[in-house]
Structure 1
Amino acid sequence: MMITNEPADGDDVLAVDVCVVGAGPVGATLACRLATLGARVAILDHAPLPPMEDPAFDGRAYAIAAVARRLLDDAGVWEHLPQATCPIEEILVTDGRPGEPASPLSLLFGREDADQPFGWMVEARALRVALNAALHTSPGITVLAPDSVQTADRGPQGVRVRTRSGRTVVARLLVAAEGRRSPLRDQAGIRVTRRPYHQSGIVCAIAHERPHDGRALEHFLPGGPFAQLPMAGNEHHPNLSALVWSERTALAQRLYELPPEPFAREVSRRLGKHLGAITPVGQRWIYPLSAQFADRYTDTRLALIGDAAHGIHPIAGQGLNLGFRDVIALSDLVGEAIARGQDAGAAGLLAQYQRRCRPANMLMFVATDMLERLFGNDNPVLRLGRDLGLAGVQRLPGLRRSFVRHAMGL
């Protein structure tokens, strides 16, 4: 396919190096990072992306690992965050049953295991504001939103995308960042393997009586993991935490629909009393949980990133951070190609991208799947084995530090 920068048939043609479809956290960060490396980028999304917005607190937050924090700095996003972030200083891993004390055989990751916070908690609305601001202030980025792909033609010489608004974008590389149901991935004939967990995740925030001191809790329960993640407080609620709570689907739906007071009681049965009285804050969200992986991450002048390429169980809180690692790998390769005057969508470049990302992502897929199988049951033999395993890792500082460095992306 021949690509030209000249208008054809009266079209409004935009010539760029990379066209990113999907302006979620992963796609938007990729566009910003590529722009800092000198690339011309078009980004499409079906939703409008105003430079700034101030939605109401909705209870959602992201745990940003150290490597992802550096990426957001490099991409010019972190500086636009409108609210304080909260560092994760400690992570306590426990095992138990609802309404019972946690097993005394636990695992604590502390500051002796890392020379910096394990991560930072960022409100979802704050990251959205920062991304939108960076997209509109970064040179080299053209935001096409609200808009979407009508046709996408890819060939040996380049990409031509026709949008529903009538724009035409010509590029060297097309990036699918549309999420788990990626149309571009499906159009390329890339197969996806899915693993249902028959669980749903409840996401919300709670205010609590006592400070969290930057400590996160990962409490393994028979129905699924229950995570409490420290957040920065505000004028109304000085002590705040985010919850990511997995349960079997039917029970999760019932819990999600509870009024605030009985919902708070159910949270306390799993959280314990160390944070004092709790109060639900903001909205609740519920999502079906499953894992999936694409058989390959590339096709002719096409790269998959983030959830379009992989989706894992939230048991380790690494889903978004895996997507950010995709961004680092792809933007490094594309930025280097552009600096050398080479083709940013060449087959060799895309092959390198897949080699850098897919094996590590598959290992994380397998690891989180095994953790869910090991901890998501009430078998007494397995319970004893996993508790002894947690206690064993607690006694091996070298192994703890190795786990920490991998989770932080260092």
Structure 2
Amino acid sequence: MPHDQTTDIAILGGGLAGLAAGIGLAAHGLDVTVIDRGEPGDQTLESFDGRSSAIAYASCNLLKAIGVWDHLEGRHQPIKEIRVSDGPSLMHLHFDHRDLGAGPLGEMVENRHMRLALHARAKELPNLRHLAPASVTEIERDAATVRLTLADGNTISARLLLGIDGRASQARRAAGITATEWGYDQVGIVCSIEHELPHGGVAHERFLPSGPFAILPLTGNRSSLVWTEKQHLADTVMGLSPRAFEAEVQRRCGDFLGKVKVIGGRWCYPLTLQFADRYTDTRLALVGDAAHGIHPIAGQGLNMGLRDVAALIEVIVDAARAGLDIGSGAVLDRYARWREFDNVTLAGVTDVLNRLFSNDIAPVRIARDLGLAVVDRIPPLRNFFMAHARGTVGTLPKLLSGDRL
């Protein structure tokens, strides 16, 4: 028989950002229900999506603070250096964490392992319910409450709904919030490789006419590749035989890692830029890809979502401790003001970088090579960009700074 469940916060979407938000809020005493369409067992299979994420230093602080990092022991690879180059040019940009006298620039984690860690931590919190697979058929919101109807007939009443359900967000569409989007005529091809020689914790990003080609260090003698290619060549590349595909990967990687071997499958994703016209509505806040989606050129997509999560946790927990209505417009406006400018700025920067580097126009190529060289030779400027890569610039939520709420 259908029944109604009451919770403080309902979260639509149980991906990386959605579960992190649920865990963080529940760890600070709120009653949380996460609803996800996906089957948890499927999402942790090696064949699910093949992607890995560069988790910035500040984002690692969040995952440590909410108890997720302990479940990643032995599964994360520190990023000690980043080397940026423009095709065959001798000009380059080199980031080394030792120049800041601080910890690593970030950590590489396979998404599968991140999901396993999030699921393990979620099970430790009795005030967090993870309903999956489950789908919502109706969303009702008014000044007093949120009411969700599930496909099985059950209902959930909450004081606040968080839409953390990806670029095609059901929560965003149900609220009538429009999103601006355009495509890049590019795809991201993702795979993992084993190699003879150690990577030394160095991430490489090479700018080629078709788009960036990133070699990102994983645990052991393994790396994750993110290969940006023109849309019209996607079927050709994905249709290569395993031997031909591996030969092309070896050619693009060069010989600094020795012989490489593609392990596992290969995946292809269209690349677009998208941002919601607003982040909030009556008792609703959009988070992560539901609010913004950017080009992977700087590896900041998930980090943007985790910064949203950290800010939202702080805003909601502060309101709850003060006895305020956690779903009120004033509380949600504080979140939106905190995050919108940062996200729009980063989306603009990644868009410009991709357009600047994804071409082979001679004057543009010369100008950008000189720009790389100038930044590399001015330590304060280079350190500023490194701090951005670590996610430690700007007014940070406490959980990103390593502080407690």
Same fold (TM over 0.5): yes
Equivalent pairs counted in the alignment come to 391
CA contact (8 A) 2:47 2:265 kept: no
State the identity %. Answer: 47
1:356 aligns to 2:338 (yes or no) = yes
The code of the aligned residue for 1:258 comes to L
- Counterpart selection for 2:373 from 391, 402, 405: 391
Whether the aligned pair in 1 keeps the contact of 2:4 and 2:157 (CA below 8 Å) is yes
1:151-180 alpha-carbon deviations (Å, 9 max, x no partner): 111010111111112221111110111100
Residue pair 2:139, 2:174 contacting (<8 A) in 1 also = no
Map 1:238-257; keep pairs closer than 5 Å: 239-257=221-239
Question: Which string of whole-angstrom CA distances, capped at 9 and with x for unpartnered residues, describes residues 289-330 of structure 1?
Answer: 110100100010011001000000001010010000000011
Q: Which runs of 5+ in 2 are unaligned?
A: 393-405
Aligned to 2:97: 111
Q: Is the 8 A contact 1:51 1:136 kept in 2?
A: no
Contact 1:62/1:124 (<8 A) preserved: yes
Once the two structures are TM-superposed, the CA of residue 54 in structure 1 deviates from its matched residue by 6.0
Report what 2:198 is aligned to: 211
Classify the secondary structure of the residue corresponding to 2:40: coil
Whole-angstrom CA distance in 1 between matches of 2:185 and 2:43? 38
Contact preservation (8 Å) 1:300, 1:347: yes
Choose the corresponding residue for 2:212, options 217, 221, 225.
Answer: 225
Shift of 1:84: 2.4
Structure 2 Cα separation of the partners of residues 305 and 340 of structure 1: 23
Q: Is residue 71 of structure 2 the alignment partner of residue 80 of structure 1?
A: yes
Name the residue aligned to 1:276.
258
Distance (whole Å) between structure 1 residues aligned to residue 50 and residue 9 of structure 2: 34
Q: 1:192 aligns with which of 174, 179, 182?
A: 179
- Give the aligned residue type for 1:363: T
Q: Secondary structure at the match of 1:17?
A: strand
Rounded Cα–Cα distance in structure 1 between residues aligned with 2:128 and 2:43: 16
Shift of 1:355: 0.4
The code of the aligned residue for 1:405 comes to A
- 2:402 corresponds to which residue? none
**TM-score, normalization: structure 2?**
0.93
- TM-score using structure 1 length: 0.92
The 8 Å contact of residues 43 and 142 in structure 1, kept in 2 or not, is answered as yes
AA partner of residue 9 (structure 2): V
Pick from 37, 54, 73 the counterpart of residue 63 of structure 1.
54
The runs of at least 4 aligned residues of structure 1 exceeding 3 Å deviation read: 50-59
Partner residue, 1:174:
161
Give the SS at the match of 2:190. Answer: strand
| TM-superposition CA deviations, 1:242-267 (whole Å, max 9, x none) | 00110101223211221222212212
Deviation per residue, 1:202-223 (Å, 9 max, x gap):
0110111111000010000000
Question: Which residue in the other structure is 1:121 paired with?
Answer: 108
In structure 2, distance between residues paired with 1:158 and 1:112? 50
> In the alignment, residue 125 of structure 1 is paired with which amino acid?
R
2:347 corresponds to which residue?
A: 365
CA distance in 2 between counterparts of 1:58 and 1:46 reads 16
Q: Is the 8 A contact 1:52 1:133 kept in 2?
A: no
Match of 2:170 among 176, 183, 191: 183
Amino acid at match of 1:225: P
User: What's 2:21 paired with?
Assistant: 30
Structure 1 residue aligned with 2:8, among 17, 23, 26?
A: 17
What secondary structure sits across from 2:257 in the alignment? coil
* Aligned residue type for 1:26: A
Contact 1:60 1:204 in 2 (8 A): yes
CA–CA separation in structure 1 for the residues paired with 2:192 and 2:44: 21
Residue equivalent to 1:95: 86
| Structure 1 position 53, deviation (Å) | 5.7
Cα deviation, 1:181-216, whole Å, max 9, x if unaligned, reads 011101111111112100010011011111100001
* Structure 1: segments with no counterpart, 5+ residues: 1-9, 97-101, 234-238
C-alpha distance after superposition, 1:321-362 (max 9, x if no partner) = 000000001111111111222111110011111100010000
> How far off its partner does 1:139 sit?
2.7
How many Å separate the matches in 2 of 1:214 and 1:267? 20
Distance across 1 between alignment mates of 2:47 and 2:183: 32
